[in-house]
Structure 1
């Protein structure tokens, strides 16, 4: 009965936001549009052994293997829209058919996001049944998720596939609430092999699953009953997660390409600010770094020619040369040298 009532307002919500996404098809798109077009071309035109070595475009493939295979599956459909988009040498190619296909691919994959929202809404406990729809917590949650303005901008204007990825995350969280821990772990392992930035959530997942799944009993006060630890459950959990990673990286390990794949996934020479956003810390780091660079130039502590210019949020894939440290690193080196004297 509750499910049928939820469908009354969930279907219009999902349909309305999908219609809005369709209206945004001709909207502006960022460099990420070309990134994903290039990945379509790489996975379609080149053998698997060259996916993580291709350097014709500056937008090299730097997502985990599952996402590469995802792009390959999309490319099999993309060829019926405009095969020219699948030519690696066609840099910055954006025909009307290409734009239409890539926009529709994001909208279609948002079905996973919608399903994740539905499953999460099912797990909300209602203390009382209200006739006012604005007082229904599952309705409020669905609106906040489905009509998330930031997600609309990032995915359907800027161009990304975060809705699809967040759908996997929401589905994994829903399975946790439903007590289906192995399925939750499986979904999260798959998610990490689509986009490795979700690694920052892995410690929380590991601790929760260890506490809720591997320990089978609690004391009366709710604390852990240490003797209830199940080695078989830990083995099952570890085997499931490891199997996903083997399926993802196995072919590249067999080809001896694991170091190359990892170098693409964790490009430390680009700088942490480019690929691994920790906004509260790196925003302060960038401010201090910029202030020190101005002070150094004014006081002639650094040669202005040795200070590389960069846009912190430009998104351009660049490597920082070791001979041009940032002002903050320069001051750290001077301070370390002073302390060692």
Structure 2
């Protein structure tokens, strides 16, 4: 199943080679040029292009390896002065490089599925959900990025955690952090789970905490993690501050160029509505930069009515909302699914309250949740809502009209398969008028995405004031999707806090209703 699904999905990816590509295509081409043509001590200083290298060193080495293959396609793409260079051979190489590195992801899906108990849902449903994830296809193979290989590393880390191989799991997660630092948001569950179930094995008492075994495990874990960081950053030891300044550019705005559907999208929407109401009422405002919050490049902005949010506030909110989940995880048993649930909670928390969050970061929650979705009906229900809304929220990334049918078809095929499969796994019915596993209100909300799509692509273009409010479709999409993701976060957080760590099968009565 994994081989067949990978082969068919790769064929679809090959068909998308000539499709629209975003500025991320030029970003990665420029990084190929930087790592190929410049010495290491200049990689994080080079600024000929505005798309400077801002990923951790292991990803820079990944680009360096790719660049030596790129020279056989078109060596001109490796010139840092050739800004926005995109010959046919350059496009072919970069597209193929994403497709080939996705084979790592496919192999890891096999390893991850092998860590679970043999069943139809594990052998068929889970591989299809992971390999055909429409968000990865839209982001990597149209928009253009290399998320597939990084989610492959995340999944191999999860697979080793499921197998009880804690050091191997910690190693691969540390490697992942040194490839893309956004995954630091998933770090707290690793820290708490490994502390409790690797370092502090056994009962929580003074004798066990100060035991020789505990100190030995702390040393092994600490040595492994620190070693990976030291090896990664050692070649850049003379300019660590410069590397860190590239990795954490807090001068970027609160929101990315396209609003990620999180709490700040709702906050921005309220700010715009208040400004519009005040303007109609004749109120004069000192700050009228109402559209600045949609910028994605390095810049700062201020809200018009509501208080502007500094980076420190987002960090504090994210940390505060993670603490209850961390406490819960610490006292749960060592079942690895508890760790994955906490990871999903933390991924959603960071997505909702983080600084300059990219809309594609929603995949940090959707992909791990795919594993749990085949185990419990509640996980499946949240997955159906989160994946449908989260993947729809990626539509603004693929804005050309020529991609309209492509992105709709990708989402519909994936969502239909998910709903159909979970109905077979969990033949539950809330009522005869609901979508599988969902209650009537949740069903209405999901079907409401069709109205959002209709407004964005048809109705807005017919309005007389469309030129005065060009941001309205995007704002509407972000705010609507934010509601679904916030709802999923609250529901899943409550579910996790109530969860006792024991696998429970949902009972079904004779009328096929949930008991």
Normalised TM-score (structure 1): 0.83
| Superposition deviation, residue 72 in structure 1 | 0.9
Trace 1:19-98 onto structure 2 (pairs within 5 A).
Answer: 19-98=11-90
Q: Which moved more, 1:64-73 or 1:44-53?
A: 44-53
Is the CA contact (8 Å cut-off) linking 2:254 and 2:309 kept in structure 1?
no
Q: Which residue does 1:140 correspond to in 2?
A: 125
Partners in 2 of 1:240 and 1:228 — Cα distance?
22
Equivalent position SS for 1:273: coil
Is the CA contact (8 Å cut-off) linking 1:181 and 1:209 kept in structure 2?
yes
Q: Which residue does 1:105 correspond to in 2?
A: 97
| Superposition deviation, residue 104 in structure 1 | 0.8
- Given the alignment of the two structures, is residue 286 of structure 1 paired with residue 256 of structure 2, yes or no? no
Q: 1:39 to 1:308 in 2, by over 3 A?
A: farther
Question: What per-residue deviation string (whole Å, max 9, x for no partner) do you get for residues 272-326 of structure 1?
Answer: 3239x9743222232233334445655112154xx274362x6x42222xxx633
- Residue among 244, 258, 265 paired with 2:228: 244
Partners in 1 of 2:20 and 2:309 — Cα distance?
42
Trace 1:125-136 onto structure 2 (pairs within 5 A).
Answer: 125-126=117-118, 135-136=120-121
Partners in 1 of 2:254 and 2:175 — Cα distance?
24
Partners in 2 of 1:168 and 1:310 — Cα distance?
36
Question: What per-residue deviation string (whole Å, max 9, x for no partner) do you get for residues 40-71 of structure 1?
Answer: 11111111111111111111111111111111
Q: Which residue does 1:215 correspond to in 2?
A: 200
Q: Which residue does 1:196 correspond to in 2?
A: 181
Q: 1:268 to 1:248 in 2, by over 3 A?
A: same
Q: Which residue does 1:269 correspond to in 2?
A: 251
Is the CA contact (8 Å cut-off) linking 2:285 and 2:304 kept in structure 1?
no
- Residue among 232, 236, 255 paired with 2:216: 232
Q: Which residue does 1:164 correspond to in 2?
A: 149
Partners in 1 of 2:110 and 2:31 — Cα distance?
31
Is the CA contact (8 Å cut-off) linking 1:65 and 1:193 kept in structure 2?
yes
| Superposition deviation, residue 21 in structure 1 | 1.2
Is the CA contact (8 Å cut-off) linking 1:33 and 1:159 kept in structure 2?
yes
Trace 1:304-319 onto structure 2 (pairs within 5 A).
Answer: 304=288, 307=289, 309-310=291-292, 312=294, 316-319=296-299
- Given the alignment of the two structures, is residue 180 of structure 1 paired with residue 165 of structure 2, yes or no? yes
Is the CA contact (8 Å cut-off) linking 1:65 and 1:249 kept in structure 2?
yes
Q: 1:217 to 1:332 in 2, by over 3 A?
A: closer
Partners in 1 of 2:103 and 2:87 — Cα distance?
25
| Superposition deviation, residue 228 in structure 1 | 3.2
Q: 1:260 to 1:121 in 2, by over 3 A?
A: same
Question: What per-residue deviation string (whole Å, max 9, x for no partner) do you get for residues 213-246 of structure 1?
Answer: 112224xxxxx46643411101110111011111
Normalised TM-score (structure 2): 0.56
Q: Which runs of 5+ in 2 are unaligned?
A: 311-515
- Given the alignment of the two structures, is residue 326 of structure 1 paired with residue 310 of structure 2, yes or no? no
Partners in 2 of 1:30 and 1:279 — Cα distance?
20
| Superposition deviation, residue 123 in structure 1 | 1.7
The number of equivalent residue pairs is 303
Is the CA contact (8 Å cut-off) linking 1:39 and 1:61 kept in structure 2?
yes
Q: 1:141 to 1:225 in 2, by over 3 A?
A: farther
Is the CA contact (8 Å cut-off) linking 2:253 and 2:293 kept in structure 1?
no
| Superposition deviation, residue 94 in structure 1 | 0.7
Is the CA contact (8 Å cut-off) linking 1:115 and 1:171 kept in structure 2?
no
Partners in 1 of 2:309 and 2:283 — Cα distance?
17
Q: 1:65 to 1:145 in 2, by over 3 A?
A: same
Q: Which runs of 5+ in 1 are unaligned?
A: 1-8, 130-134, 219-223, 334-341
Partners in 2 of 1:200 and 1:295 — Cα distance?
37
Question: What per-residue deviation string (whole Å, max 9, x for no partner) do you get for residues 178-199 of structure 1?
Answer: 1111111010000001000000
